[in-house]
Structure 1
Amino acid sequence: MIHEDHHHTHTDSAAHEDDSHDLASGNSGWKMRWPLLAGSAVLAVMLVLEFGFGYLPPFPIGLCVYGTAYLLSGYNVLYIAWRKAKRFDFFNEFFLMSSATIGAFAIGSYSEGVAVMVFYSIGEWFQDAAVDRAKRSIKALLDIRPEVVTIIENGVGRPMDPNLVDIGTVIEVKPGEKVALDGTLLSEKSSFNAAALTGESKPDTKRKGETVYAGMINLNTVSEIKVAAKFRDSKLSRILELVQDATARKSKTQLFINRFARIYTPVVFALAVAVFALPYFFVAQYSFYDWFYRALVFLVISCPCGLVVSIPLGYFGGIGLASRHGILFKGANFLDVISEIDTVVMDKTGTLTEGVFEVDRVRPDGITERELLGIACAVERKSTHPIAAAIVSYAQKIGVSTFEIGNIKEIPGKGLEAEIDGKQVVVGNLKLMQDAQIGLPEGWETQAKTVVIVAVDRRYKGYITISDKIKPDAIETIRELHRMKIETVMLSGDKKSVVDSVARELSIDSAFADLLPEDKVRNVRQLKTLGKKLAFVGDGLNDAPVVALADVGIAMGGLGSDATIETADVVIQDDRPSRIVTAIKVGRLTKRIVWQNIAMALLVKIVVLALGAGGIATLWEAVVADVGVALLAILNAVRLQRIKMS
């Protein structure tokens, strides 16, 4: 029953602060709640006397008793209506309720006037509780930021504000404590609970040199961590920003209902006046009391509160439900859009496959294996690509000596060129070799693994195969998407034989290989011209343009690049493909519940409005219908917070 600004804080000026917040805070603490309870108790006693014993107090006593109950239960509503009226804002539910109840007092319907205010305020009380519950899972994230961190100086620990800790500082985290800053583990091994970041509660064991993120909870041994990022730049801080922003970004449905309420409220005011005034000219036995009473019923039932509260509440619930499963929606609008998706386009590496590469085989031609690895390692160590890191790691592990290089040049999506001892070296994929017109042995097209080819002075010198495992839940993800009648497409920069092999294993509808970043953009644009409503899922820096172009951009947040995460509309924190299915299900469920509430509220209001205008419904029926439909809509929206997703 609270207007939409009840849930958002305005920051432009004190004059435009959220009036509705007064009502919310009034219903949240005992000191401000007791007047409502007292007013309700007085009303209950008077109703027992009136309907149980037939006692009606005489005029001055009845007005005083009912007036006291009215002021106790309705003070906050009247106060907000007055504040809004001072700004010439008359078309809101607070002014509407105040007008209807004061009107009831004016014609002597004291008990009904108090009842309307009591039930309305009790409805507000329940709504505040529901909104608080909906936000609880989101607010819980805000409470996981440690306020103090222990830094180690000269072997001694001392407390410090995490905001003041510099990169390179060593911090100590005891068992049960939260990690305050992103960093590298210096201890040999530690286990952490990463549920706050990923939604996955099982322990995550980290070894020396691995990255530990702020928000993780240390489970067993005292751990030392070398800080790698400022507090404001940590993964946790970025997540909290995303969640806070998400609750402020409204969906199209919310915006529509807000616009609808702004038009609807003045219209029903005008209709209420018409219900009261027009019969004077057309009805022979016109009764002021009768038609004024009908207008009051009309005002009470026309309050749009069930809509403007239950709808944002539904979206809060959807965002909270998703966040509990390690999925961050950057706004309620994306819950709507993802519910309409009919095509999911995915990158291969890091999205459907682990993205953790290992050297599988080394096949030299005319040089030794160690020479081939030395050349490849010398060039690839200048690249940040995961495949390059795998080659460098393998070469260092077996102790291969590398070469000094010069004039290095990276060709996006293909590989690198450089000079070693005055000789031109090319290291990359098949497409790069074709561009450089380097002759290759036959059979490359059938190789079902990622291949890095090495050529020196335009002569082929061998290749290195790289293995990358398909993620455990990728097959079930594709199967579930197909059950949901969603088409699946895979776009990859890898060669055709590798891409086709993965596509066959996963039963993906269509797959495209040998794609540069601009080719991926072209493919997505082409799908959109066919009228597809599509989501793109990726993790690499080169996926950022496609993520931005899709109707819904989804980033794998664990291994994903910062650029892709920033560009994306939805972030999957634990990199599990099955979360794509969960995100779509949450979106569809949220939209279904929101529209159920809209249909239910409008249907009940139309029926009771017609009954009220016809003189059949009383103020009692009006307030029960108004509060009842709002509470039903709230309970329906709260269901979202109890649902268990697979």
Structure 2
Amino acid sequence: MTHDKEDITTDFKPLEITSPRTAAAPGPQDDACCSGGACSAAAGQQQAAEEAKASYLPTILSLVLLVTGLILDYIDAAWFTGIARFVTYGLAYALVGWRVVWHAVTSLRSSFFNEFLLMTVATLGAFYLGEYAEGVAVMLFYVIGEHFQEAAVVRSRKSIKELIDNRPDMVNLQTATGTTSVPAKDVWIGERILVRPGEKVALDGELLTEAAAFNTAALTGEAKPDIKRRGDKVLAGMLNLNTAATLQVTAAYEDSALSKILQLMEEAGSRKAKTQQFITRFAKVYTPIVFFLALAITLLPYFFVSSYVFGDWFYRALVFLVVSCPCALVVSIPLGYFGGIGAASRNGILFKGANFLDLITQVDTVVMDKTGTLTEGVFEVQEVQTVWPDEQEFLAYVAAVEAVSTHPVAQAIANYAGKVSLQATQVQEIAGHGIIGLVEGDEVLAGNGKLLLQQGVAYDVTIDAVPYTTVLVAVNGSYAGHIIIADKLKADAAAAVKAMRQQGVGHLIMLSGDKEAIVQRVAKELQLDAAYGGLLPQDKVAKVEELKAQQRKVAFVGDGINDAPVITLSDVGMAMGGLGSDAAIETADVVIQTDQPSKVATAIAIGRKTKQVVWQNIGMAFAVKAAVLLLGAGGLATMWGAVFADVGVALLAILNAVRIQRIKF
């Protein structure tokens, strides 16, 4: 476990992404760029895996030599004495111990008292006393523990990589010879890409197509999808709804919202939980104390014990030193949090630091945005009102003209009506108002109240007060009916509320910029404790400030740019990251990549399990060490017992930490 005890994450190098092309320096990427550490994530992981495998060979050889020596000692081989015995065990020690000894020597200037010095003094002291096998065993099992740590970190990194790989990293690049699929990071600023219907935009760009509809709820906080027209800016993270769109790239790959997830992972390594910080401070005080206690165990008995034998008391001090090494604490505890971050990644949740794993366990109030958080942010027909006796015929007429339009509202009506045999002619779309066309020789208008009034059609103006998107229909100049369209709840919204209550969240509140009637309807359906509509971003901030003034631990869940201020203000800010805006993701403490509100409860559960495992490790380490320290000081414990108390407990703690990632949440 040759790491900097200040922070286990110093061994964890986040994957890096670079863009080979920039506006300032167009052209293919030079291979020399990798010399600066900017190689691809896949190559970096492969190299790390190869290095890890190579490091196992010395450990295996050391284990073989140790077992061989123990067998020869057991059978009392006549030739296995003197120099032969020393060389066998010495080689076994050198294979695994040289790095620890070197680290102990090089760290003397910055930190004299550390676990590396304790291990070096204890094992070399064992060799001085002729206890070769015990000295090798201490160092060997210490290094085996390091391999377990590395394996746990690699597993967590793999989980994180699998999460990140869900983002679109390939784009359809348009060239003079056609369209080809290329990595998004290889696209230059100024080049053109094609985004097909149903695909998520991977790069920021300017729309070159005449018009296209995008789901922008996560970026704008508005339920209504946005019609982008030629020259409009399209942001990474938007979802193309129904028309093939050509974009001219305006930003490099690493500047997109989705690529920034890697940068957030780098932040996770620098933020420690309070438990980690306490253990780090504790180790700095604890290590020199036990070092001088070991020195006292060696020397003080000379003045009080008549039959003082230096070798006996020195051996007891060595046992004391080995047991006192804080490896199980300084390694397993941060690894426990790292395991929690990895487990969260496997579940589509990104914690930006171990401290947020702790904070989320204290949350008693969850405040949620509506659009894009609890609802899909897409349109669905809710109700059809018509003065015609035949509703199906009414829908057929409306769907015939709407089927020509690419607008999401029109598509929602067409999908609701299903397959119709009627066809519209002379269709004219009036931007921002609606559509007009001929169906079976009848003029059909479908749009808002302004369109009907412009065409001289009278209708009941109270319909304008309906708190939903409303499409009014007129046939041959007479009002024929209207269709109410609204956003729909996410499939797991109700389950999310139930799961959060099971996790002990006492207050569930919804804040939204939508009309009050819509907000109250959703709140009633989900059985929330409170809901407030018609709020501006500053109003949401004020509501959360009120809750915090009541000494509540507040988590806010949102997804749009308008949610960024309140995400920052809350104790734990959570962003829906699948389509969430840059601002929301960057200011959030926790990012839910799957856009599922039920993951909020999962995040709380992972935080609590992580904290439980960490405290299990702390309790186990202190209990075992205290027992063996007392036995060692009294001469009742051997170096083998010390090995178990130090390295053995560290291994058990690491395995316990790894267990977090195997739990199904």
TM-score, normalising length: structure 1: 0.72
Paired amino acid for 2:640: W
Counterpart Cα distance in 2 of 1:527 and 1:118: 54
> Does the 8 Å contact 1:348/1:492 carry over to 2?
yes
- Conserved? CA contact 2:503–2:604, under 8 Å: no
Whether 2:567 is the aligned partner of 1:547: answer yes
Q: Does 1:95 align with 2:117?
A: yes
Q: Distance in 1 between matches of 2:461 and 2:180?
A: 63
Q: Secondary structure at the match of 1:536?
A: strand
CA change 1:185–1:130 in 2 (3 A) is farther
Q: Alignment partner for residue 94 of structure 2, among 52, 71, 78?
A: 71
2:613 matches 1:580:
no
One of 275, 280, 288 as aligned partner of 1:258: 280
Shift of 1:182: 6.0
Per the alignment, residue 278 of structure 1 pairs with 300
Q: Is the 8 A contact 1:555 1:571 kept in 2?
A: yes
Range with greater deviation from structure 2 (261-270 or 46-55): 46-55
Name 1:476's counterpart in structure 2.
495
- Output the amino acid matched with 1:477: A
Match of 2:146 in 1: 124
Structure 1 distance, partners of 2:48, 2:120, is 19
Instruction: Give how far 1:100 is off.
Output: 0.3
* Structure 1 partner of 2:638: 618
Q: Which amino acid aligns with 1:81?
A: A
Whether 1:306 aligns to 2:324 is no
Aligned-residue offset at 1:613: 0.9
CA distance in 1, matches of 2:531, 2:171: 48
Q: How far 1:590 sits from its partner (Å)? A: 1.4
Residues 50-85 of structure 1 show CA distances to partners (whole Å, capped at 9, x for unaligned) of 223375844444333332322223122112222223
Write the letter of the residue equivalent to 1:494.
Answer: D
Task: State the match for 2:103 in structure 1.
Answer: 80
SS in 2 for 1:339: helix
Note the C-alpha offset of 1:542.
2.4
Aligned residues: 531
Show structure 1 runs of 5+ residues with no match.
12-23, 188-207, 217-222, 364-387, 404-419, 421-439, 453-462
Which residue of 2 is the match for residue 53 of structure 1?
76
Q: Which residue of 1 aligns with 2:553?
A: 533
Aligned to 1:197: none
Aligned-partner Cα distance in 2 for 1:504–1:31: 60
Tell me if the contact between 2:257 and 2:581 (Cα under 8 Å) persists in the aligned partners. Answer: no
Taking a change above 3 Å as real, the CA distance of residues 247 and 448 of structure 1, as seen in their structure-2 partners, is farther
Deviation at 1:168, TM superposition (A): 5.6
Question: Is the Cα contact below 8 Å between 1:26 and 1:32 reproduced in 2?
Answer: no
Aligned to 1:449: 467
Residue 101 of structure 1, CA deviation: 0.7
Report how far residue 104 of structure 1 moved.
1.1
CA distance in 2 between counterparts of 1:304 and 1:4 reads 12
Question: In structure 2, do the counterparts of structure 1 residues 494 and 161 end up closer, same or farther at CA, with 3 Å as the change threshold?
Answer: closer
Judge conservation of contact 2:163–2:348 (CA < 8 Å) in 1. Answer: no
After TM superposition, the structure 1 = structure 2 runs for residues 156-235 of structure 1, keeping only pairs within 5 Å, are: 156=178, 162-163=184-185, 165-167=187-189, 169-171=191-193, 181=203, 226=247, 228=249, 229-235=251-257
Deviation at 1:336, TM superposition (A): 1.2
Range that drifts further, 614-623 or 539-548: 539-548
Q: Is the 8 A contact 1:39 1:118 kept in 2?
A: yes
Please tell me whether the aligned partners of residues 104 and 110 of structure 1 are also in contact (alpha carbons under 8 angstroms).
yes
Residue 286 of structure 1 aligns to which amino acid in structure 2? Y
Secondary structure of the structure 1 residue equivalent to 2:556:
strand
- Find the counterpart in structure 1 of residue 368 from structure 2: 346
State the partner residue of 1:489: 509
C-alpha RMSD of matched pairs (Å): 4.2
Cα deviation, residue 135, structure 1:
2.0
Aligned match for 2:356, one of 314, 327, 334: 334
Query: TM-score, normalised to structure 2's length?
Result: 0.70
The separation in 2 between residues aligned to 1:631 and 1:114, in whole angstroms, is 17
In the TM superposition, residue 622 of structure 1 has moved relative to its aligned partner by 0.5
Q: 1:625 to 1:562 in 2, by over 3 A?
A: same
CA contact under 8 A between 1:181 and 1:227: conserved in structure 2? Answer: no
Q: 1:100 to 1:215 in 2, by over 3 A?
A: farther
Does the CA-based 8 Å contact 2:8-2:335 persist in structure 1?
no
Find the residue that maps to 1:469 and give its secondary structure: strand
Measured after TM superposition, the shift of residue 147 of structure 1 is 9.1
Q: Deviation of residue 625 (structure 1)?
A: 2.4
Q: Is the 8 A contact 1:553 1:567 kept in 2?
A: yes
Aligned counterpart, 1:8: 10
Percent identical among aligned pairs is 53
Amino acid at match of 2:536: L
The answer to whether the 8 A contact 1:27-1:33 is kept is no
1:186 Cα offset (Å): 10
2:256 is the alignment partner of 1:237: no
Counterpart contact for 2:8–2:334, Cα < 8 Å: no
Taking the aligned partners of 1:541 and 1:172, their CA distance within structure 2 comes to 26
Q: Post-superposition shift, 1:98?
A: 0.6
User: Offset at 1:151?
Assistant: 3.4
Q: C-alpha displacement at 1:245, in angstroms?
A: 2.4
Q: Give the alignment partner of residue 430 of structure 2, picking from 372, 394, 400.
A: 400
Distance 2:292 2:492 in 1: 58
For residue 64 of structure 1, what is the amino acid of its counterpart?
V
Q: How far apart in 2 are the matches of 1:401 and 1:26?
A: 57
Give the C-alpha shift of residue 348 in structure 1.
Answer: 2.0
The yes-or-no answer on 1:295 pairing with 2:325 is no
Deviations 1:458-506 (A, max 9, x none): xxxxx99762222221111111112222121122333443322222111
Please tell me whether the aligned partners of residues 478 and 506 of structure 1 are also in contact (alpha carbons under 8 angstroms): yes
* Distance (Å, rounded) in 1 between the aligned partners of 2:161 and 2:270: 14
CA contact (8 A) 1:166 1:227 kept: no
Aligned to 2:536: 516
With over 3 angstroms needed to count, the CA separation of the structure-2 counterparts of 1:178 and 1:610, relative to structure 1, is: farther
Letter in 1 for 2:322: V
Residues 1:147 and 1:401: Cα distance change in structure 2 (over 3 Å): closer
What is aligned with 1:560? 580
More divergent stretch after superposition (570-579 vs 241-250): 241-250
Other-structure match for 2:343: 321
Give the deviation of 1:604 after TM superposition.
1.0
Give the residue type in structure 1 aligned to 2:617.
Answer: N
Structure 1 residue 163: deviation in Å? 4.5
Residues 406-445 of structure 1: per-residue CA shift (max 9 Å, x gap): xxxxxxxxxxxxxx9xxxxxxxxxxxxxxxxxxx99999x
Q: Per-residue deviation at 1:230?
A: 2.5
- Give the partner amino acid of 1:548: T
CA distance in 2, matches of 1:273, 1:56: 36
CA–CA separation in structure 1 for the residues paired with 2:238 and 2:381: 33
Per-residue deviation at 1:287?
2.1
> 1:15 corresponds to which residue?
none
Structure 2 match to 1:376: none
